[in-house]
Amino acid sequence: MTMTFLVDVQKKIQRVDGMIADLKRTALANPRPSVFANIRSLQKEQRYLLQEFEHFAAVEEEDVYRYRLINATRPTIGALADAWKSFQEMFTATYQSLKQGSAPTAGKKKKAKVNEFSVPIGPQFAWGYSYEGSIGVGLTLPRRAGRLMDDPDIEKATDIIFSLASAGPEGITEVARRVGPATVTAMYRWADVHAQNQLGVGIEWRRDLTVKREVTLPLEKVVLLRDSLAKTTIETQVIVTGELLAVDVEKSAFRIAGDNGEEYSGTYTDAITREHRAVLPARYTATISKVTKAVLNPDEEDVSEYRLVLLTQL
């Protein structure tokens, strides 16, 4: 029954929104005090309806996301659709990373097989309403995702998105290290869609009538976020047991074949010295630091850099 009320409030919000738009056009041609009074009255009713919508959404255990596009001068329908679609894709990538484990592995990345007919895994945003005053929409997202209890990864995914979007250039690397490349790449594409279409963005996440997180990114901050994400690298450490194949003292380079079937080559600083010489051929346990670009294009190979941190002969 509550869902029926939710749909009814949706219709009322859209009706009031249309009336406000009509009165604003009238005010441009005939700016009478009575017209402005009617606009203020309808805006008050609109605020009440938005609160009523959030009330019924809370009863239905759905979160509300207010998504507002700013700095927009007559954006195209395609730009609006791409902005909303990229937001859904960013949430889905983050949610899937949490479900599957986001920590990058040490070996070479294997490209996933893509099924063009596959359905995205994870909760999907639903249309709630649009509101007057900006290009703004209210989206709803169920907290349960088909389960009897709340899905904690829905809240975690939202927190990650807000943390990454508001981290700033200095904090992005730390957040990226925790969430993994899939989320960083999805956010880069989301920011790039907005930057390409000259759109800033403001997002509010509301749960149970309370604003839990919010972020506002004017266009210049969207561009800064996109460019910072493009430069972000993720550093991880892996311990490899295998055979040391080569050492180039002049170039401070190494090559080792791991028992896991992977081969690693890179540079070192003080893992091999006069006091700590390497013997060839011999088996070692190597601690290797791997630095990977967080954002990869679909057709780009994973070119990671490896640095030998510690070498222990078996």
Q: What is the pLDDT of residues 171-182, one digit of tens each?
A: 888 888 788 888
What is d(CA 244, CA 256) in angstroms, rounded to the nearest whole number?
4
Q: Which residues contact 148 (CB under 8 A, 6 or more apart)?
A: none
Per-residue pLDDT reduced to its tens digit, 219-278: 999 999 999 998 888 888 889 999 999 999 999 999 999 999 999 999 999 999 888 889
Among candidates 70, 68, 67, which has minimal Cα distance to 198?
70
> Across 6-20, 196-210, 295-309, which has the greatest mean pLDDT?
196-210
pLDDT of residue 105: 41
Among candidates 147, 120, 133, 127, which has minimal Cα distance to 57?
127
Per-residue pLDDT reduced to its tens digit, 69-95: 987 677 888 999 999 999 999 999 999
* Ranges of H-type helices in 142-203: 152-165, 168-179, 181-196
Say whether pLDDT at 137 is over 50. Answer: yes
Say whether pLDDT at 309 is over 90. Answer: yes
For tokens 């149970």, what's the residue? Answer: 208
**Angle, helices 152-165/77-100, rounded to nearest 10 degrees:** 120
pLDDT of residue 110: 41
